[in-house]
Amino acid sequence: MQFSTADMQFMRTAMELAERGQFTVAPNPLVGCVIVSADGRIIGQGWHTAFGQAHAEVEAYQSVSSADQPLLAESTWYVTLEPCNHVGQTPACAALIERIPPKRVVIGIRDSNPAVDGGGTERLRAAGIQVDVGCLEHELAWQNRRFLWNAETKRPWVVLKWAESRDGFMDGRPQQERKPGAGGFPITAETARPLTHTWRALEQGIVVGANTALVDTPQLGVRSIEAPSPRIVLLDPDGLINMEHALIQRNDDLIYVVGPTNSPAKKHSCHWEVKEGLDTLLERLYAEFNLSSLLIEGGATVLNDFLKHDAWNEIKCWRSPAATGGGLPAPSIPDHSLPLPHGIASSGQLGVDAWTNRLHSRHASD
């Protein structure tokens, strides 16, 4: 299907609206909707604002003024995701559209949720509405990469994140100084913080290993931007952490991943042994804790494990202009990794620090 320039412009507006839900909709998809009158005027627009809240189509419909209501019968709806055909936490959008019904619905991507999966499109067509699917589909698949990956693999989307010195170290101290309670070793300047916190806010869980928790006692929250903090996932399969540790004391909804022999009486614990493998851990974090994406913050051992097992989708990395001259070596970005698709910036600079964002080569067509 060839879409017109106007179709693509309206869909792009819907995509931009969808993006406004970036910190709040997970594990739901990002969805935007624009309603256009027969003479090409936007008469309604909306987006899915947060998990559990109204869907984009409902928001868009409710934004249509009473003066414009008579135009709905001849309107075209641009929706970034196939309208749902099921009653979840909210009623089915396909039912709302069917009742109107508009002349045409243009859809970005199919909803891979098994409860929908083409059913919304079929229902609208059965109601006599012209439905065209696939407008800006590649860009929209990228926007909803986490949601689509979840449906395909039943695992969270995994982003590896670290900061390294110009000469490739994550921590410039000699090993004997990296002991419990030593505190964090800053690599980036203060100016990098808002972007680092944005990276956190974009994912649903932040993973940190026991050694980093013990040495750095990081806070791992989102403080420098307006967005909710993700859940913290503390990996402690060898039971090294004391229950008095600040991360555990401060975070009631922390997910504590611990080996079966060291089971603590903790509300949200997940039993896992290293020998079960990272894939099993990821499946469990998705199925039992509903985590659709993870930011792996370290330390080096945890990051290298994810790299070694190829259990990652994106890498986000800071490089500072200063050299430490030694310390804890940072992981390496795999040679096969790709820049981001669709002309999205894969590198940049904030203050003195440079950042890089790479994608796993399995997503080559995204």
Query: Rule CB under 6 A: which residues touch ligand AOF?
Result: 28-29, 31, 48, 55-57, 81, 83-84, 88-90, 93, 111, 113, 116
CA atoms within 13 A on the CB side of 88: 15
Question: Of the residues 16, 57, 226, 273, which is catalytic?
Answer: 57
CA atoms within 13 A on the CB side of 276: 15
For residue 339, the one-letter residue type is P
Closest CB 42 distance from Zn ion, rounded Å: 20
Residue 55 makes contact with Zn ion by CB under 5 A: yes
Q: With contacts defined by CB under 5 A, how many residues of the chain interact with Zn ion?
A: 3
Please give the Cα distance from 330 to 171 (Å, whole number).
8
Residue 106 near which of ligand AOF, Zn ion, none (CB within 5-8 Å, type-dependent): none
| Whether residue 57 lies in the annotated active site | yes
User: Residue 56, SS3?
Assistant: helix
Token pair belonging to 126: 């059965």
Residue 330 near which of Zn ion, ligand AOF, none (CB within 5-8 Å, type-dependent): none
Residue 110 makes contact with Zn ion by CB under 5 A: no
Q: How far is CA 297 from CA 17, 127, 163, 312, in A?
A: 29, 49, 9, 13
Please give the Cα distance from 283 to 81 (Å, whole number).
25
Between 116 and 192, CB nearer to ligand AOF: 116
Please give the Cα distance from 245 to 292 (Å, whole number).
26
Between 57 and 164, CB nearer to ligand AOF: 57
Number of Cβ within a 10 Å radius of residue 109: 24
Q: How far is CA 127 from CA 52, 94, 96, in A?
A: 27, 10, 12
Closest CB 190 distance from Zn ion, rounded Å: 42
Between 147 and 272, CB nearer to Zn ion: 147
Closest CB 134 distance from Zn ion, rounded Å: 19
Residue 245 makes contact with Zn ion by CB under 5 A: no
Chain Cα centroid distance, residue 127: 35
Between 96 and 340, CB nearer to Zn ion: 96
Cβ-closest residue to ligand AOF? 88
Closest CB 83 distance from ligand AOF, rounded Å: 4
Contact stretch for Zn ion (CB under 5 A) within 35-43, 80-88, 330-338, 343-351: 80-88
Residue 89 near which of Zn ion, ligand AOF, none (CB within 5-8 Å, type-dependent): ligand AOF
Between 28 and 357, CB nearer to ligand AOF: 28
For residue 102, the one-letter residue type is P
Instruction: Answer yes or no: are the C-beta atoms of 140 and 16 closer than 8 Å.
Output: no
Closest CB 194 distance from ligand AOF, rounded Å: 27
Residue 18 makes contact with Zn ion by CB under 5 A: no
Closest CB 262 distance from Zn ion, rounded Å: 44
- Sort 208 into a burial class: Cβ within 10 Å, 0-12 / 13-18 / 19+: buried
For residue 15, the one-letter residue type is M
The string of DSSP codes covering 125-136 is: HHTT-EEEE-TT
In 3D space, the residue among 355, 357, 338 whose CA is nearest the CA of residue 346 turns out to be 357
- Sort 173 into a burial class: Cβ within 10 Å, 0-12 / 13-18 / 19+: middle
Region 90-109 residues binding Zn ion, contact defined as CB under 5 A: 93
Residue 84 makes contact with Zn ion by CB under 5 A: yes
Region 294-323 residues binding Zn ion, contact defined as CB under 5 A: none
Closest CB 17 distance from ligand AOF, rounded Å: 10
Between 147 and 306, CB nearer to ligand AOF: 147
Between 151 and 354, CB nearer to ligand AOF: 151
For residue 308, the one-letter residue type is K
Active-site residues, by number, are: 57
Please report, as ranges, the residues that interact with Zn ion according to CB under 5 A.
55, 84, 93
